[in-house]
Structure 1
């Protein structure tokens, strides 16, 4: 009887102690926004197979800092969430002598022809430009013009130069609108939302022979893929497919060959491909649609000739985006916060193996960053927000560069009309 009472007492004591412990929800989907209750978990022996706790600790601290900084940010409901980029782009021009800039505007037709830019004019809420046979990339202009025509009734008379090349123009005396620019070279171009949100996106072999496609459609396509591959069903490896446009990508492909348990990174053909030497000695991999990427937990983004058109698509997979380098940007990059929406990697990929191991061994935290990145792009980078950015951008442009004299339609310019949906 005494022994029985002892056992019962011990059982009751254990139950009381268990009732006082916090309940832990192990599901990724229901994870709290607070990462601090997770920290002790990162240093348990079973989550630290090959690295010391101090290795993981440096990453956790970076994420904690990003969490704190994010909480201190607020948005102005009267402006686009991306409006700070407009302010930043115009800061250079506000400090330049307007008289010198206006002299350049007097030769704007010559500048457009010499640099092969598109000169747009808005007159009485109508849109004009050079004839189509003078355009370098007509489909890119079509993508731009979709948004311009949507907001034309809100715009005053003005004229502006748009660059449809991949690289910025960096002119010091006249403003030029470009889709991408380099932070390191302090380009003076003013960023606009890329044409590929609507039309003129890059063609990718057999999977996207006429371009990736409209952003509004791809949003839905990738959202369905995300639902088919929720975080718990994704493969815990990194993934990359792309052509060898730069040797910067070589270390990732080589790491994949030596450590396939960490990632699957392979080169595909591009137009310049002639032999396996162009794909680092291996036969080129087959191309895949973006929704196939969603089956992997960690997706790599590299710049191309300029900023990558792929970045926004990767976020919608609900996978963790590993963004390589910080030089080339599009207009929405500034609001993406490293260690909160994505994990940044140095261009030399010196830390890529450690980052992949960290993500594999800290699955809940990796999933949380992936979800935060996806939610930001899904909620804020909408077609409506792209249109709003165009409107704010051009109104700010007019405020600074608008001229009092009437704008007269240039000789041989044609009026732009709406086109059928691509």
Structure 2
């Protein structure tokens, strides 16, 4: 044992302590130099890592339809892009509580009932701000955005003039101006494809033929005359008319729709199987889902429209809320494929069997047995999993139900990659998506699923890029205001092709707008001139 050459033990101990402190300081200096060298070699010279993630309130960017007083939506929304001190967009989450938002009436003489939840952190440096109005104002709204009590971008934002809430019946008489305000696309490939089978629509033939051919299905006969909604029901299973009623009423509260008479199928399966070359040819039936073997005209599904109408009120999962609940960042997700759902297609049962054989690659379970109850004993019922927890997994398996799985748009809005079963069924936005670019395609019989999961694990960077591209595109396509654009585009395209005059059937009843106190508002569009296109 080495001894200190000092007789005073206390002095020796003190010197030993000083030596240890000196050594620690030297190690700290070396570590600091190493970190600084690493940051400089992996970033811009002279740029501190703190500067790359620290928010610069005045440099941040704010935009979105919710800041335009002329736009009326069930829930208003806009976006915040966090920007750092050197003017670069922040691309990781700077913290869920980075921004605070308040909404109030401009005039002290007015009160507005409004719900403003915390902004949704989309985990990529951007935030989604939502607020639902429960009353209208005449003299404008003030929207303030703060970062640590400092105004962000051009905050406060003033929405001048009248700002209407969802239940206010105040349609814009100028449809072209309304389309311009919403920045609606002038065309859509799915709409063009659907109407290519119907260069003209003979209303008298449609009125006669649809009830004869489809009485045993759930079909609703609608007429919009003078922007008022009327309907009659055909068939036994028509309860889902509540979903078509609510979106059509919502649309006619916002814009004057041309007089139009049409039939909506409220069942699962598309109906019109005739080909264009058949004699007689197909009749125009509007449905929520299409297929390669049918000629139905497609609208956004009742699921996405209902969740849009009930955002922040009657539903927990909607096109906006899912964007702030996408689970861990990509690198922290579990490298397994995931599925939960009911037994509405046999391939889903096969998925569970595959999961039992490959638990390290696939976690699949049936949560409710209805169509294949005899298989429950063999496969067992899986516990329910909250939808947002799906995104703990990197790979989401999307398998058809009775028709297209209506969860698909919600899965695409997450930051996992979607492995979609090849399918003859489609929703209104599928024409914009490309396999391999926006999602990964798997065979109809799922025979290549395990191989595709293994490939995904071996090509992580490429798969993450597919997930991001798909998410970005669907974020754009499925913004709530785009659903209104699509509905109007379909009804306008239909109205333009009508031969004959839309009429009210004797059996039709009026579907009225909400008339309780919550719908009260002072509509000034009926007494004003066309608004300027300038803010």
Q: TM-score, normalised by structure 2?
A: 0.56
Q: Deviations over 1:283-341 (max 9, x none)?
A: 21012221110110000001111111110111122100000013110111111111111
In the alignment, which residue of structure 1 is the partner of 2:143?
none
Q: Give the 3-state SS of the residue equivalent to 2:318 in structure 1.
A: helix
Aligned residues: 333
In the alignment, which residue of structure 1 is the partner of 2:193?
88
In the alignment, which residue of structure 1 is the partner of 2:464?
367
For the residues of structure 1 that align with 2:470 and 2:339, how far apart are their CA atoms?
Answer: 18
- 1:221–1:200 Cα change, 3 Å: closer
Q: Give the 3-state SS of the residue equivalent to 1:415 in structure 2.
A: strand
- Where do residues 3-402 of structure 1 align in structure 2 (5 Å cutoff)? 80=185, 83-94=188-199, 102-106=204-208, 113=215, 115-130=217-232, 136-138=237-239, 140-152=240-252, 153-170=255-272, 172-183=281-292, 185=293, 187-199=294-306, 218-226=318-326, 228-272=327-371, 274=373, 277-279=374-376, 281-402=378-499
Pair 1:416 & 2:517 matched: no
**RMSD (Å), alpha carbons:** 3.4
For the residues of structure 1 that align with 2:494 and 2:315, how far apart are their CA atoms?
Answer: 25
Stretch of structure 1 that moved more, 235-244 or 170-179: 170-179
- 1:273–1:248 Cα change, 3 Å: closer
Structure 1 residue 146 displacement after superposition: 2.6
Q: Give the 3-state SS of the residue equivalent to 1:304 in structure 2.
A: coil
In the alignment, which residue of structure 1 is the partner of 2:109?
none
Q: Give the 3-state SS of the residue equivalent to 2:335 in structure 1.
A: strand
Structure 1 residue 88 displacement after superposition: 0.3
Structure 1 residue 397 displacement after superposition: 0.6
For the residues of structure 2 that align with 1:23 and 1:365, how far apart are their CA atoms?
Answer: 22
For the residues of structure 1 that align with 2:394 and 2:216, how far apart are their CA atoms?
Answer: 47
Conservation of the 8 A alpha-carbon contact between 1:158 and 1:402: no
For the residues of structure 2 that align with 1:24 and 1:368, how far apart are their CA atoms?
Answer: 22
Q: Give the 3-state SS of the residue equivalent to 1:169 in structure 2.
A: coil
Q: TM-score, normalised by structure 1?
A: 0.70
Runs of 5+ in structure 1 lacking a partner? 1-18, 32-76, 202-209
With a CA cutoff of 8 Å and minimum separation of 6, indicate the structure with the bigger relative contact order.
1
Runs of 5+ in structure 2 lacking a partner? 1-37, 45-89, 93-181, 275-280, 519-535
- 1:267–1:107 Cα change, 3 Å: closer
Q: Which has the larger radius of gyration?
A: 2
For the residues of structure 2 that align with 1:107 and 1:239, how far apart are their CA atoms?
Answer: 45
For the residues of structure 2 that align with 1:103 and 1:224, how far apart are their CA atoms?
Answer: 48
Stretch of structure 1 that moved more, 337-346 or 373-382: 373-382
Structure 1 residue 142 displacement after superposition: 2.4
For the residues of structure 1 that align with 2:235 and 2:205, how far apart are their CA atoms?
Answer: 25
Q: Comparing both structures, which one devotes a greater share of its residues to helix?
A: 1
For the residues of structure 1 that align with 2:415 and 2:396, how far apart are their CA atoms?
Answer: 10
For the residues of structure 2 that align with 1:326 and 1:224, how far apart are their CA atoms?
Answer: 29
For the residues of structure 2 that align with 1:379 and 1:400, how far apart are their CA atoms?
Answer: 29
Structure 1 residue 250 displacement after superposition: 3.9
- 1:82–1:304 Cα change, 3 Å: farther
- 1:81–1:377 Cα change, 3 Å: farther
Conservation of the 8 A alpha-carbon contact between 1:168 and 1:180: yes
